Amino acid sequence: MKIPKRYFAVGTAVIATVTVAAFATPASGGAREAVVRADQAAAAAAGAQALVASRPQMLMSSPGEDYVRGSVITADALSYVPYERTYRGIPVIGGDFVVVANAAGKVLFTSVAQESRIGTIGTSPSVSRAAAEAIAGQQLVSVSGLETTRLVVFALGGPARLAWQTTVVGKGAQGPSRLTVVVDALTGKVLDQLEHVMSGTGNGNWEGTVTIATTSSGGTFFMSSPTTSNMPCQDAATNTTFSGPDDIWGNGVGTNRETGCVDAFYGAETEATMLSTWLGRNGMNGSGGAWPIRVGLNDLNAFYNGVEVQIGHNSAGAWIGATDVIAHEMGHGIDDTTPGGISRNGTQEFVADVFGAATETFANNPNDPPDFLVGEEVNLVGSGPIRNMYNPSLLGDPNCYSKRVAHQEVHAAAGPGNHWFYLAAIGSNAPGQPVSPTCNGSTVTGIGVQKTVQIFYNAMLMKTTQSSYPKYRLWTLQAAKNLFPGSCTEFDAIKAAWNAVSVPAQPGEATCP
Ligand SMILES: [Zn+2]
């Protein structure tokens, strides 16, 4: 298994070498669009590079640092230029930042993870690599493998430390685990742990008769997407893609694995279409691809782990790949492959639920209507949905933000964020929709799911390793302002929704007008 290259995901050019295609022969349709996008990305890269070269105060620079630019991400007229930092050639965890630019390459905003300078630190470890790997392994119940170990500078809060970063695979207290552990290279203390296994929930079955796009070769059909690479639907027992002599799939029986794949594959393809239609994102990973979907996990659960999505069963034995479940798991993958990686401080499950709800809304399938409940179709343990976005407290999760949310169990911690999403998209008292009680007694008018997820996705493109609810407030307000420059309606709704779930105003947040 290969560790996803979170910290150096893309590109290694410190100096931008850009090919400007502005004078290419005018082409039609998609080709012209690609030329414009390349032009826009090049302008953004140049604008960001000029800013970074001037070493502005906000970068918290120290001698010995270099800034490594990743691939520019474009979303409509906006461009996001992600950077990683090295200190004397060593990758810095928490040194990341994103420069946001408009179509002309003018810098609009800079999102910087680091909150203090590294200063001067030694680069010789006194704890050995092997000792650090052993300490990492001790964080699991049992270890089945070791992926990669590297020396890093850890700068995520507190003074920067020289550290070993190791990824171990095996079984944790909560089940399957791929855990990245950061161990202080001078003291052996565990500084940070990041779990890559994102547990979801703890003829199609849930989705009814649906249309799926498949591939065929030599007279055999495969449940594999013709437009999104690396997204087959497979039997988890053998990792074999479902195939057959015709393009007819499943039998409508929920315990049948091929049927389970129909639901999951339909939901995943719908999500990919939503991403391209609403958000201008190409595939779950941003470069046209995703991860294999495997139905057959022997657990009341589903998960994403950076390598695959596994779908388990409910208490009646039916596979649980309904649209909101598969779109949630793939949502973890979107989070994983946007700047800053998997969201932190209690926001990771909120991010995934937003993609579940947005996909369910986009699908608008009468067999699985958009409802802002999570897992209502699959009825995981026989007691209905597992989360409620318009009133999280009805299922025991917090409606309102407080500092302790960052330390709560990650699914419970989704409460305030899910509540924010519903209020921003639908509102507190929308006709024909469930009432959503606000934490400050206010009335919030929604701006629709499409605009809200568009703002949210653009906020994710400003994400750093220092993500949190307060940061998402800051980033979504900036995104609303950037995306809708001539209007304050969207900005005001986003802000009113954060106020309504008690996430307070942040230093440096945008204002409108
Ligand atoms: Zn999840």
The alpha carbon of 348 and the centre of ligand 1 are apart by a number of angstroms equal to 7
Query: Separation of 301 CA from ligand 1 center, angstroms?
Result: 10
pLDDT in tens, 418-456: 999 999 999 999 999 999 999 999 999 999 999 999 999
Weakest mean pLDDT among 18-27, 214-223, 271-280: 18-27
Please give the distance, rounded to the nearest whole angstrom, from the Cα atom of residue 476 to the centre of ligand 1.
Answer: 21
Binned at pLDDT 50, 70 and 90, residue 15 comes out as: very low
pLDDT (average), residues 216-243 = 95
303, with CB counted inside 10 A (0-12, 13-18, 19+), is: buried
pLDDT of 381? 83
Residue 302 CA, ligand 1 centroid: distance in Å: 8
CA dihedral for 43, 45, 48, 54, sign (positive or negative): negative
pLDDT band at residue 395 under the 50/70/90 scheme: very high
CA of 332 to the centre of ligand 1 (A): 7
DSSP assignment string, 363-427 = H-BTTB---SEESTTT-TTSSS-SEESS-GGGGT--SS--GGGGGS-TTTTHHHHHHHHHHHHTB
What is the arithmetic mean of pLDDT over 504-510?
A: 97
Q: What is the mean pLDDT of residues 347-352?
A: 97
Phi and psi, residue 373, nearest 5°:
-110, 150
Q: How far is the CA of 116 from the centre of ligand 1 (A)?
A: 31
pLDDT band at 29 (very low <50, low <70, confident <90, very high): low
Ligand 1 center to residue 207 CA distance, Å?
20
Q: Is the pLDDT of residue 461 over 80?
A: yes
How confident is the model at residue 207, as a pLDDT? 82
How far away, in angstroms, is 178 Cα from ligand 1 center?
15
Output the CA 13–ligand 1 centroid distance in Å.
34
User: Which pLDDT value is given to residue 9?
Assistant: 25
**304 C-alpha to ligand 1 centroid (Å):** 8
What percent of the chain clears pLDDT 90, i.e. is strictly above it?
81
User: E-strand spans in 155-258?
Assistant: 161-172, 175-184, 190-195, 198-199, 215-217, 220-222, 233-235, 240-241, 243-244
Mean pLDDT along residues 13-17: 30
Angle of helix 348-363 versus helix 414-425 axis, rounded to 10: 40
Cα of 37 vs centre of ligand 1, distance in Å, is 32
pLDDT, position 263: 94
Q: How far is the CA of 47 from the centre of ligand 1 (A)?
A: 36
Distance 416 CA to ligand 1 centre (A): 15
26 pLDDT exceeds 60?
A: no
> Stretch 306-326: mean pLDDT, rounded?
94
Mean pLDDT of the region 168-172: 89
How far is ligand 1, taken at its centre, from the CA of residue 386, in Å? 12
Distance of CA 198 from the midpoint of ligand 1 (Å): 5
- Provide the residues around ligand 1 (an ion) whose CB is within 5 A: 198, 200, 349, 352
- Å from CA of 412 to ligand 1 middle: 11
Q: How far is the CA of 276 from the centre of ligand 1 (A)?
A: 22
Dihedral angle of Cα 417, 420, 422, 428, to the nearest 10 degrees: 150
Q: How many whole angstroms from 43 Cα to the centroid of ligand 1?
A: 36
For residue 389, the CA-to-ligand 1 centroid distance in Å is 14
Distance 19 CA to ligand 1 centre (A): 39
Exposure b/e, 223-241, CB count within 10 A at least 16 = b: bbbeebeebbbbbbeeeeb
- Token pair listed for 24: 């290419």
Residue 418 Cα to ligand 1 midpoint, Å, equals: 13
